């Protein structure tokens, strides 16, 4: 009987020790955990898209040099630039240049890959992918409308 009571007390003591240890571990994890630095943030992806849409391309029409946003619309309308280049070709090369300048993609880099998509009325117009798609990603999109068409530019950056 006495031995059983001793056992019960030991079990109780063990439970308390376990509870205290778990509490300590949780507290410790809060203190040790430091914010991850260097990772891409969503606002950076959003601002990249917004800034890129304002970028002035080499494609000129009768009035001006087209911004990327106007270049997407020109490509949708199958227009040509003043120098006879196809607006879709200029769009493709401009987007590639912008992404390569903005994101340094590589296995040793913070950015492991990206996926950029331009859709017009829900239909894919241009998709550019590079690197690996990881589970840690940040994304953003920007949409605009012109002459009854809806344009959407989305970008996912994988860390």
Partner 1 sequence: MVSKIGQLKIQEMIFMIVAVALLFVLVGIFFLSINLSNVKQTATSLAEQNSILLVSKVANSPELSCGNAFGTSRTNCIDFDKLISLSKKTEYSDFWGVAKIEVRKILPDEGDKICDDSNYPNCGIVNVLDKNVKILPYSSNFVSLCRKETDGKIIYNKCELAVLLIASEDKTQ
Strands 149-158 and 137-146: antiparallel
**Nearer CB in complex with partner 1: 98/116:** 98
Q: Build a one-symbol-per-residue string for 55-94: x at contacts with partner 1 by CB under 8 A, - elsewhere.
A: xx------xxx-x---------------------------
CA–CA separation, 76 and 62 (whole Å): 18
Which range in 38-46, 73-81, 106-114, 115-123 contacts partner 1 by CB under 8 A? Answer: 38-46
Please pick, from the candidates 2, 3, 29, 31, the single residue that binds partner 1 as defined by CB under 8 A: 31
Please pick, from the candidates 39, 47, 121, 136, the single residue that binds partner 1 as defined by CB under 8 A: 47
Neighbour-count burial for 44-54, b at 16+ CB within 10 Å, e otherwise? ebbebbeebbe
Following CA atoms 104, 106, 111, 115 in sequence, which dihedral angle do they give, to the nearest 10 degrees?
90
**Nearer CB in complex with partner 1: 15/149:** 15
CA 140 to chain centre: 6
Residue 140, interface with partner 1 (CB under 8 A)?
Answer: no
Residue 109, interface with partner 1 (CB under 8 A)?
Answer: no
């Amino acid at each position: 009987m006495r031995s059983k009571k001793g056992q019960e007390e030991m079990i109780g003591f063990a439970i308390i020790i376990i509870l205290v240890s778990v509490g300590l571990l949780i507290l410790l994890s809060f203190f040790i955990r430091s914010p991850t630095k260097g990772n891409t943030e969503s606002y950076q992806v959003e601002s990249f898209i917004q800034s890129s849409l304002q970028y002035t391309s080499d494609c000129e029409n009768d009035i001006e040099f087209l911004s990327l946003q106007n270049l997407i619309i020109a490509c949708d309308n199958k227009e040509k630039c003043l120098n006879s280049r196809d607006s879709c070709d200029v769009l493709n090369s401009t987007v590639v240049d912008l992404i390569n300048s903005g994101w340094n993609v590589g296995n040793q880099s913070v950015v492991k890959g990206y996926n950029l998509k331009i859709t017009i009325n829900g239909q894919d117009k241009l998709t550019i992918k590079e690197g690996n798609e990881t589970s840690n990603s940040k994304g953003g999109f920007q949409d605009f409308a012109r002459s009854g068409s809806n344009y959407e530019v989305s970008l996912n950056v994988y860390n």
